[in-house]
Structures are given as C-alpha cells and as structure tokens.
Structure 1
C-alpha cells in the first residue's frame, strides 16, 4: 500500500513538472513573438486572483480593472495637508542632466544678463537640433553653471514678480497634420513635456508611438494627490488628451486609482478620447511603467510615450492659450517638514527658497521627488524637471550599534523581523540609514514579491552587471525605469544600488539601438 502511494505521488509530481515546464515554454515563446502575456491568455494556469482576487467595485462599472497582488507601501509621516500656499521661490533653473541622452554641452542660446519670457528658448541638444528647452518663467538669466569637463549643469533665471509669456501661434487641432503638430511642439517646448520609453528620453520627432500612457495617481511615499491638484484644470487636462490622440496611431490610456476609499477627481473620470483603466494595489501600482505592463506591454520593437498629470495640463494650456505655462503645484513633505503642504510655483524652483522657514532640525536630507527614487539636493539646488514633490527627512549618519541584531526602533520594512503587520496604518519617522552595508548579491526572492511585473529583476540586474545585452533584452529591461525598480532597492537585503545599475543597463541598450 505504501509503495503504491509513493508511486502515485511520484507520477503526480512528474506530470506537474512537465505541465509547469510547458507553461513556461509557452510564455517564453509568446514573449519572443511580442505577444501580450500580461492578461494571462498564454498560460496553462490562470491566476488565482482571477477567481479569488478582489472584486471590481461597482462604482467602476464597465472600465477595465486591474487588481495587483504584489507591492509594498512605505508608510511615512509627513504627508502634505490639503491646503495650497503661494511658493516663495524667486529663482528657477532648467538642468540639462535631467534629460537622459542629452549632450553634456548643449547649445545655450542665452547669456548672463539676458531678459527672457516664459517659453523663450534657453538651449537645445546639439545632437537633436530643433527641440527647444524653454524658460519656465520670465526674468533675467543670472547664471549658466558648468559642471565637470565644462558640461552645462544649469541655466538659472531670477523670475519677474509678474510672469510674462511668449505668445505662440497654436495650430488648429481639427485640421493640423501630425508633422505640423510635432514641429510646433519642438519649437514651443511642448515636446519636452513628454517622455519616450524605453530609455526615458525626450521623444524622437520621427517616431509614432504605439500608445501614449498617463497615470493619474502616485503610490510612492508621501506622493502628491493629483485628484486634488487637477480639480480646477479639467478643461486643460482634456485638451491635452485631445493633443495626445493626434500623436499616436494607437490609443491614449489613462490609469485611474482603483484602491478602496480613494477619491478620483471628475477631471479624470469624465475624460473622453481616452481608454481609462483602474488599478488597485500597493506601490508601485501608480507607476506608469507598471500600468503599461498590464495594459499593453512594450515589445522589443515598439516605443511608447508617457506624460505626467501636471505636464499634460501644461500641454493643454499651451493649445488653449498659446502660452507655455510651467506652473506646478508641489507637495512639500516629510518628517522634518514643519508644515507639510502644497505650494504653487514653477518648474525648476530653487529648493532652499521653496522650503525656507518650513524645516525642523539641522541634519536633514532634502530630496527632489519621493524618498525612493528622488535625488539628493542641497538647499542651494533646484527641483528636477519632472518632479512635483520635495521630501525632507532626517539624515541617517549616526552609527546604530547592533542595529541589525536588536531591531528596537520601528522602521518601514518588509521584513518579518519587525511586527509591522500588526500596525498596518502606522506611519514611521525614517532616516536615510540603510541599516546595513553592501554585501553579497544573493538570491532572495524579495524583488519578485514587490514588483508586479512578469520579469525576474534579480536575474536582470546580474545580466546588466555582466554586460549581457541579449539577456538584458530578454529579461525585460525595456519595460523598466528607475522609479519601477526603486521599491526593489528599498527591500534589498544585499543593499545593491539597483536604480544606478538599471540606468547603466539602459544606457548600454540605447548605445546598441
């Protein structure tokens, strides 16, 4: 009897292994042929979430609904309150290093002392002449700062008290050709509001994107609430969508917040000329890259464009008014922020001026962006081009004796070492301490638990480190950008700089393209 049972169990295991191998081979072959495997049609094992996952809320009605089961929310105190103040920034800068692939020394069209209006050209990339990078405000050019090897680090403007705009003759959307539309976007600075994937670069003017994607919510720590920001900008948002439709032969997709209890602005819900998709899940569910993966993944031959909510509003205003309006509502956040709130300012605001009088303590990390993927700044620095969040948290430069052995201080962590699951809504007061040093890059399975994409992040990282271009492409590097992999870096036991590694890989891929 025992021997019969063992034989039956063995047969079942063998059959299971064969079926599992067949399922893997089916999906590998589908990816090789650029087929969309994200919807589960090329698998012998339909996801259990299709049967037992969260049910689609009745309020969503007929819109597609994606319930993501992977991810991790980093809950930090210091979220901006729903009040908007006028920002105090007086100087603004455009930073050429913010644009991937740009020549280190772009052609600067202004000199110190020149007066410019918002929309006037500041510089352009010598490799891509005709695409203008324009002034976000009017005023006097007070500095053209240089970095290593005489590269251009920033072009700084002291803003006028009342902003003056260059007036553009906007094309009629009902009759304009795509070529003429692209030409207008190039000279007006509108093309720089968009982003092209893979590689996260300013779009190629001769590329027709397969689709264009907009995410209307952000799940990163302390991220701004775009439903709150966009409430009074419905007309400009819709006009921006209308423009996007003329730039692609595919669809414009808009990702909406489908998490329980979240309020979605009518600006987003009532949008037309776009296909809306709701997403429910933990961070990084709000990342546009995650949404692309689950709606219409990037293939080895396709290119897609993306645009943020406030950039889309600027695009709409450009066509409604003929003016390049770089106004931004920025969330000032973090545990070292005395009064977390929203402020109105413009692209590239001076951070020190923006947060003056609103900082507690004298040993803080100032971040342009969110704590996971933002960049470290000094108080003399400027916000990065696409950022609409400033985060201020305590530095983690104090030695923690046996911190790894005696976890007595609560901290945001995916590790079961801390009883975080017992306090699911607790907001932590973190520091920048990594709680450990870089160590052997071992397989842990942590990345796969936090990244809701059909790729193997750790295998990809090792392929990048070894410079294996073919394997990098096969493992899905074209679908990723730094913000997507940032949550993996946060939970990484090996303390690897995954975002920097990924950027190296993307640069290698771009050189080969």
Structure 2
C-alpha cells in the first residue's frame, strides 16, 4: 500500500486569477528562444550564427565543461538573433519559426531494448538531457553519475499553479516511456509524489515502474525538494535526479515519436489577466504570444515567467523560461498606500493574522509586488519554521551562508534545499530578507569550494 505523508507546515496563498479548466491553442508565434541563463552554472559554446537554418532538434549551443550536453532548437526556422549581455555573456538564441515545423529524426525506439549508454546518448544528442536535474545544487545531471533515486512531483501547490491532471490527461503513453527511460538509466523505480485524494483512474497512478507516495498539506507540499526530504533525504556525497512532470512527457516523446517534440501547455494566470486559461504552445515561446490582448492594462503590471514566489520577472518581448509551466500577471504595486498597514485590512493578506481578513480563510486576493516595508535586521523570529516542512534550521543556514561558513552550511542542510523550497520564508519575512538570493549565493559558494 502506498504511503501517505501529511504536512502541517506551509502556507497556501489564494490569489485571484485562477485559470479555467480549458486548453486553447495559442496564437501563431513566430519567435522562440533558448536561454543559457535558465541553467545553473552553464557556460555555453555557441554552435550557430544569425541566418543559419535549423530543424527542431538541431544544436544551438553546448556546455563548454561538458560538450556532449547539447541544447537544441525547439522549432525549425532561421536563427533570428543571438543576444549577448555584459562581457559578451550569451543570454539567448532566438529562432524565427517556420510556418510548419520540421524535425531532426533521432529514430523511434523501445526504451527497454536499449542499453543505458544508448539511452543517454540519445537524450544528449536530441537536447533533452538538460531536463534531468541533479540535486544537490539543482544543476543539469551528470551522465557519469548513477543517482541513488529519481523523484518526480505530479502536482504543484504554488499560487495559481497548473493542474497537471488536465495538462497531461492524454500523455500516458509518453509519460510511461519517460518513466521507463529514467528507470533504465538509474537502475531504480521512479519515486513519484501524488496529491492525496487522487483517484486510481488518474494518469499518474496508472504509471508502472514507480513508487507512489501521497502528500497532503499546504504549499510547498508539491515541491519535489520537500518530497525528497520526507522520503529519501540527501546526504553529503549522494545524488538525486528530478524531472518536471511536463518535461517527462517530452522525454517520452523522443522515444515514441523519434524526434524532439517540445510542445507543452502553459497556463496564463493572475488578477491582471482578462481570461486566465491554459494554452497549448512550444517551449521557449515569446511571452507576447500568450499575453497580447489578454491583459487588463488598468495598472502598471508585472509579468512573471513562473509563479509569484519563484518566477522570473519578464516583459512581453521576453521568452518563457525553459522549466516554466505558467505565466502570472499581477499589479506591480509601485505606488504609495495611504496609512499602509494601519488601514483596516479586510482586503489584505497576512500570514501572521495581522489583519481581520484571516477570519475569511477561503478569500482570494489581488496581491501586488510591493514590499510593504523596508529591509530590517535579520532576526530569529520563528516565522520561517512555520512555513518550511523540513527538518532544518533555515535562519541559521542563511546566516552560515552570509558568513561563508561551509562546514556549518553542510551541517545545516545546504545539500537538501534549492531557493524554491524556501520561497515561502522570503514571502512571510517581516525583515524583507532576500532568502532565495542568499541561498543561491550559498549554492554557488559550495559548488566553487567543494568541486
């Protein structure tokens, strides 16, 4: 019988702008991009130039440190731009898409008939390998390492997150091929986290070669890092692989269809969206293809590639992140508020029950990006522990990072967390401490000093 883990710590942030359960085809999009900045520690080596013609699956750039790891075009077309930043840092490779996509043929294959080496070679040649993430540190998996476990979360508890049951209802064949692939290269059944209450008819509960664990509780119960912590924690010297559930279907399609089919469903959400809904599009699509004509434009807005807690601030001319499953649009909040926190607050959200709105637990809010305060001293208040369902001391971990104390960072759990796992700590922090930024600095320091 499958195990059920009930989490009490956490916080559900109920926002206006939840998408209706309908999937539409996105308007025709002519520009797509792959951004090296989406991958931690990557130093890219460009393989194309402006004007080159590519098929979906052709190499755009490789990893200088591991040239066998390739990053390929999600669509066919012409290289429209190679955008660089400071010191000629490669920011994005933009492809102007053909009217009809043509694919590089990698050949259909039965996963179970291939060796581990053949599967890994196919994944890397097609550009699908970067979808496998290695913990600790949240980097692209090292193909020379065999992980102690593979974890996939089949649900997301972040604000306005997509319903993967809806998104992947017709993808069982591809999901199973992806599971079989991961089992073959890891040598172990794949651990999948499923939301408590999911029926046996679900596409996720029918998957074979899996070990199912049910999770019940508020956000971040859907984070794969939280699930790993409660099922098979990461210790020093150990490695665990994770895959985004939509990316699992893309991995499966490589074997069932024989080419890099980067189609995915992105949910457009937020209080500033006229009609929040799901869109069928392709990885790396231009943000404007989903938002144009669908925003209220009554206030200054913030467009986020991802969710409000961990997503990246973008503009309509930017491109959807490689690992993103949603776009969220909220008010920027760059205005002064009369009396601030001293107002009655029936329409204000507070994790500490500061406002009377806590009397209405099911109320939804139109929150903005305003800090509603200023940076203060970093003190031990007990706030973080209430929203982090992990057996670590978050404040002391962050202080160890600020002090550059590697030994303490190891002892306090740096191997188990990524910034997304502690995003709620940043949200509830009265000191306005940039928790995710500090933790990112700690991960960079660990990788530099221990590798």
Query: 1:390-401, aligned counterparts within 5 Å?
Result: 390-401=327-338
Query: 1:273-284, aligned counterparts within 5 Å?
Result: 273-284=209-220
- For residue 434 of structure 2, what is the aligned residue in structure 1? 497
Q: Give SS of 2:186's match.
A: coil
Pairing partner for 1:338 from 252, 261, 274: 274
1:107 and 2:51 aligned: no
Equivalent-residue separation in structure 2 for 1:179 and 1:128 (angstroms) = 16
- For residue 419 of structure 1, what is the aligned residue in structure 2? 356
Pairing partner for 2:240 from 283, 291, 304: 304
The structure with more strand, counted as a fraction of residues: 2
Equivalent-residue separation in structure 1 for 2:32 and 2:65 (angstroms) = 25
Equivalent-residue separation in structure 1 for 2:311 and 2:230 (angstroms) = 25
Pairing partner for 2:35 from 95, 100, 109: 95
Q: CA deviation at 1:171?
A: 4.9
- For residue 157 of structure 2, what is the aligned residue in structure 1? 219
- For residue 260 of structure 2, what is the aligned residue in structure 1? 324
8 Å CA contact 1:227–1:265 kept in 2: the answer is no
1:365 and 2:305 aligned: no
8 Å CA contact 2:346–2:355 kept in 1: the answer is no
Deviations 1:348-402 (A, max 9, x none): 1111222100001241000000000001001111111000100000011111243
Q: CA deviation at 1:164?
A: 1.2
8 Å CA contact 2:132–2:243 kept in 1: the answer is yes
Query: 1:406-445, aligned counterparts within 5 Å?
Result: 406-408=343-345, 410-445=347-382
Q: Give SS of 1:166's match.
A: coil
Pairing partner for 2:13 from 67, 74, 86: 74
Q: Which has the larger radius of gyration?
A: 1
- Comparing 183-192 with 386-395, greater Cα deviation is found at 183-192
Q: What TM-score results when the alignment is normalised by the length of structure 1?
A: 0.85
- For residue 192 of structure 2, what is the aligned residue in structure 1? 254
8 Å CA contact 1:317–1:325 kept in 2: the answer is yes
- For residue 76 of structure 2, what is the aligned residue in structure 1? 138
- For residue 479 of structure 1, what is the aligned residue in structure 2? 416
8 Å CA contact 1:75–1:412 kept in 2: the answer is no
Q: CA deviation at 1:409?
A: 5.4
- For residue 177 of structure 1, what is the aligned residue in structure 2? 115
Equivalent-residue separation in structure 1 for 2:374 and 2:316 (angstroms) = 27
Deviations 1:319-365 (A, max 9, x none): 11111011010000000000100001111111122210000124100
8 Å CA contact 2:346–2:357 kept in 1: the answer is no
The CA RMSD over aligned residues, in Å, is 1.3
- Where structure 2 has 5 or more consecutive residues not aligned to the other structure, the ranges are none
Q: What TM-score results when the alignment is normalised by the length of structure 2?
A: 0.97
